[in-house]
Amino acid sequence: MPLLHTSCLPVDRVPNNAARIPSTQFRQELKQSLPAALRNLQEGNIAPVDFAQAAIGPGMAIYSRYGGILESSGKAMGVRAALGIINQTLTEVLTELEDDFDDETRWSIAWFEQYGFEARDFGDAELLSKAKVTSVSSLHNAGIVVSRGGKVRLVRPAEMSLEWAAQPDRPVTAWEMGHQIIRDLEAGGEGAAAALVVALGG
């Protein structure tokens, strides 16, 4: 997640007598508060491109609540250091939220973050699949990857079958559902995308 530039963040002034807390408590409060805050953002109308910066807000609200965040050395933590901790915690929380996805989708997210749609060695894909509790064969059966000649890559959205929902013998993943919804949105507008969401159900 990209670090937001400090000049973009107005930090509210706090009273001189506001409480000072150790950095360990700051981290604990971030860990407790950010999951709910991120879910609220995800359920809102935040554009994906703006999500990373919008997600900084709840963390900075905690930072600005106190008169100071004290490092282990006793020195007050600056905004730049606080942003680093907030970004690190956001990454951890988002990773945990991904646990709600199916294993194939979790693999796809991790693979895409590293390689996009580029073809890589089969061994790289298999190693990551073990960490995500799946396999390259399962990913292939789900229609998520192309595996040939010792190389593996994600199926590009334009290559996904339009008949995907009518194949009961093939698992349907959150990764593919997301891309199919995007395809319908781009081709038929919000009405088409909404119809597909309704058809998919929960």
- Over residues 89-112, mean pLDDT: 81
Range 58-62 average pLDDT = 91
- DSSP single-letter state for residue 158: G
pLDDT-wise least confident of 14-18, 50-54, 109-113, 135-139: 14-18
The pLDDT assigned to 134 comes to 92
Cα dihedral across residues 23, 29, 32, 37: positive or negative: negative
Q: Helix (H) and strand (E) counts for the chain?
A: 8, 5
- pTM across the whole model: 0.55
Tokens of 121: 């060695």
Instruction: Choose between 73 and 47: higher pLDDT.
Output: 73
- Residue 50's CB is within 10 A of a number of other CB atoms, namely 11
